[in-house]
């Protein structure tokens, strides 16, 4: 009896997975069922279907993005984040234009054709300074994609960066449920403004990435469902998710980190629902489990983001505890990642890796 119940459940999970893989929508309860997971058998099924969809769209290719964490100053005070303004223990740093250009030079020689400039919301980098940095990279590397991840700005600022040569923008919505958002952020941060930014970025012409943390404090399966529905509305080109990881100098220091299992399941569900999406196997995933990024690739991810920031600053960009890859030079990082990607059955490619849209 117990056996037939289990096989019934597996069958119905399989039906949900198959219909998603055929590009059909699932009901709210079906998605919640997948999110909650039942047993190891259905996870394995989920991952293998997600992998098949990913191989159909992108083959074995894994795109690399050179991440330049250029400032850890931030005017925001997100309750989960290690570089929040309120963390007085954080030692702050900034890279200037020449330092950023020299990271790009090193990255270009190593085969990177996408540079991701990421930082806290740091008012030191006015629009004029940002545009000088962006156009500097654009002039020297016309064949590269420039991705920005510098938070919430006005539409006008986004337009200026785009004109200066930026073409992609990463801005996780963090959680699409406004009530949940308010529990993770101080009162002066507005979830609707963050969503407004994402739609503005899309209209301007950026390839847009959004996403969320898995297992953030107070998160429920219904919140994750809300994230999936929001992403269906936004239809971003890139979807970045990773486990929430505790940082000891934040108000959330006593909350536990998100789990590997749930993050992998969410990656697979995303791959099935958004076959075209560029989905990274994130550093956070590699931090909570030694093979986290390889498992992320096998569950449907197709991007990795090695660090190009100068090694002396790496530890200072500490969003969460025990962050990996803070000691290696860029060349070591890329060769380590290439080995990890091929051990998982995929191959690193050095093209720009633009999204393959399937309208």
What residue ranges bind ligand FES (CB under 6 A)?
74, 76, 78, 81, 83-84, 120-121
Q: Which is nearer to ligand SAM, 81 or 144 (CB)?
A: 81
User: What, of ligand SAM, ligand FES, none, does residue 43 touch, CB below 5 to 8 Å by kind?
Assistant: none
CB of 245 to ligand SAM, least distance (A): 4
Q: Which of 14, 30, 99, 121 binds ligand SAM (CB under 6 A)?
A: 121
Rg (CA), the chain: 20
Q: Which of 86, 151, 186, 251 binds ligand SAM (CB under 6 A)?
A: 151
Q: Which is nearer to ligand FES, 81 or 333 (CB)?
A: 81
CB of 81 to ligand FES, least distance (A): 3
CB of 103 to ligand FES, least distance (A): 19
User: What, of ligand FES, ligand SAM, none, does residue 242 touch, CB below 5 to 8 Å by kind?
Assistant: ligand SAM
User: What, of ligand SAM, ligand FES, none, does residue 244 touch, CB below 5 to 8 Å by kind?
Assistant: ligand SAM
Q: Which is nearer to ligand SAM, 17 or 267 (CB)?
A: 267
Cβ neighbours, 10 Å, residue 165: 19
> Can you read off the two tokens belonging to residue 124?
């030191």
CB of 357 to ligand SAM, least distance (A): 24
* Cα(243)–Cα(140) distance, integer angstroms: 36
* Cα(105)–Cα(185) distance, integer angstroms: 37
Q: Are 161 and 131 in contact (CB under 8 A)?
A: yes
183: three-class secondary structure by DSSP = helix
Q: Report DSSP letters for 108-171, one per residue.
A: HHTT--EEEEEE---TTS-HHHHHHHHHHHHHH-TTSEEEEE-----HHHHHHHHHHT--EEE-
Q: Which is nearer to ligand SAM, 120 or 191 (CB)?
A: 120
CA 354 to chain centre: 16
317: three-class secondary structure by DSSP = coil
> Can you read off the two tokens belonging to residue 218?
């107070």
Q: Are 93 and 313 in contact (CB under 8 A)?
A: yes
Q: Which stretch binds ligand SAM (CB under 6 A): 104-112, 156-164, 240-248, 339-347?
A: 240-248
Cβ neighbours, 10 Å, residue 28: 12
| Residue 149 in the binding site for ligand SAM (CB under 6 A) | yes
User: What, of ligand FES, ligand SAM, none, does residue 320 touch, CB below 5 to 8 Å by kind?
Assistant: ligand SAM
CB of 83 to ligand FES, least distance (A): 5
> Can you read off the two tokens belonging to residue 25?
């929508």
Q: Which residues bind ligand SAM (CB under 6 A)?
A: 80-81, 118, 120-121, 149-151, 171-172, 174, 213, 242, 244-245, 247, 284, 319-320
């Amino acid at each position: 009896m117990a056996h037939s119940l289990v096989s019934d459940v597996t069958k119905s999970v399989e039906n949900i997975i198959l219909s998603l893989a055929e590009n059909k929508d699932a009901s709210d309860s079906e998605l919640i069922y997948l999110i909650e997971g039942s047993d190891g058998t259905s996870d394995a099924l989920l991952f293998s279907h997600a992998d098949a969809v990913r191989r159909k769209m992108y083959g074995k290719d894994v795109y690399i993005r050179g991440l330049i964490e250029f400032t850890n100053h931030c005017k925001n005070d997100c309750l989960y984040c290690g570089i929040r303004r309120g963390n007085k223990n954080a030692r702050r740093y900034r890279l200037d234009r020449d330092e950023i250009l020299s990271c790009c030079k090193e990255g270009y020689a190593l085969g990177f054709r996408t540079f991701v400039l990421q930082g806290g919301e740091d008012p030191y980098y006015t629009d004029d300074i940002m545009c000088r940095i962006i156009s500097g990279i654009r002039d020297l590397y016309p064949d590269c994609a420039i991705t920005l991840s510098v938070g919430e700005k006005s539409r006008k600022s986004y337009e200026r960066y785009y004109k200066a040569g930026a073409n992609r923008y990463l801005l996780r919505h963090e959680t699409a449920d406004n009530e949940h958002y308010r529990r993770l952020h101080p009162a002066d941060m507005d979830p609707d403004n963050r969503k407004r930014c994402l739609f503005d970025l899309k209209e301007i012409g950026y390839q847009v990435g959004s996403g969320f943390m898995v297992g953030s404090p107070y998160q429920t399966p219904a919140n994750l469902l809300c994230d999936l529905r929001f992403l269906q509305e936004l239809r971003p080109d890139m979807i970045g998710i990773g486990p929430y990881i505790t940082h000891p100098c934040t108000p959330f220091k006593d909350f536990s980190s998100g789990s590997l299992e749930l993050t992998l399941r969410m990656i697979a569900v995303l791959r099935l629902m958004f076959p075209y999406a560029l989905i990274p196997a994130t550093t956070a995933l590699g931090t909570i489990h030694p093979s986290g990024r390889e498992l992320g690739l096998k569950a449907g991810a197709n991007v990795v983001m090695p660090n190009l920031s100068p090694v002396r600053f790496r530890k200072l960009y500490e969003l969460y505890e025990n962050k990996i890859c803070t000691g290696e030079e860029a060349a070591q990082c890329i060769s380590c990642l290439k080995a990890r990607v091929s051990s998982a059955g995929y191959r690193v490619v050095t093209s720009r890796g633009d999204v393959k849209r399937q309208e």
